[in-house]
Amino acid sequence: MAEESFPGWHGTTILAVRRGGRVVVAGDGQVSLGNTVIKGAARKVRRLSPGGHDVVCGFAGSTADAFTLLERLEKKLEAAPGQLARACVDLAKDWRMDKYLRNLEAMLIVTDGSLMFVLTGAGDVLEPEHDVAAIGSGGNFALAAARGLMETDMDAEAVARKAMAIAADICVFTNGNLTVESISG
């Protein structure tokens, strides 16, 4: 997907940080339509609990497309309780092969506290390096900041909050209204 054909890229930053047996997923609240801020306090980080197994997801891109993918992921997790990797791979296969799903324009960060994955419409199920993952328009700014902050003694939430503040200062499509969810592994 070319970035210019995917306007959903411009409007969010999602960051996941794993440290000290905990994963924190943070997302900003800005929703933009072109160069206009439509909403400042959207919730782009969600907790799912299919079959009693908690999973935290953050999404970037089209909100309706992301919700469709989250619903599909929840069904995959219900079919394979406690098997996040399997559910993510199954979702990625469907996303890549299904005529309807392959047009969805979103990315996901998914974690159960032990495993962390970035899912894309290209069929990618990526395990991030360095215990940090980021997506969205400000993702690279947040990723760079978080990787630098991982050399400090800050906990996962402090790293995520500080990195997101740095991204919000740099990316015009990212604000400082955060939704933060944490999960232990």
The answer to whether 25 and 14 are in contact (CB under 8 A) is yes
Q: Given its phi and psi angles, is residue 153 left (phi above 0), alpha (psi -120 to 50 degrees) or beta?
A: alpha
Q: What is the residue-wise DSSP string for 114-131?
A: S-EEEE-TTS-EE--STT
The answer to whether 14 and 60 are in contact (CB under 8 A) is yes
**Catalytic (active site) residue 111:** no
The answer to whether 93 and 69 are in contact (CB under 8 A) is no
Q: Is 103 helix (H, G, I), strand (E, B) or coil?
A: helix
The answer to whether 45 and 25 are in contact (CB under 8 A) is yes
Helices in 42-177 by DSSP H: which ranges? 63-79, 84-97, 139-149, 156-170
In which residue are the tokens 């919730």 written? Answer: 43
Tokens for 70, please give them.
């989250």
Query: Which residues are catalytically annotated?
Result: 12
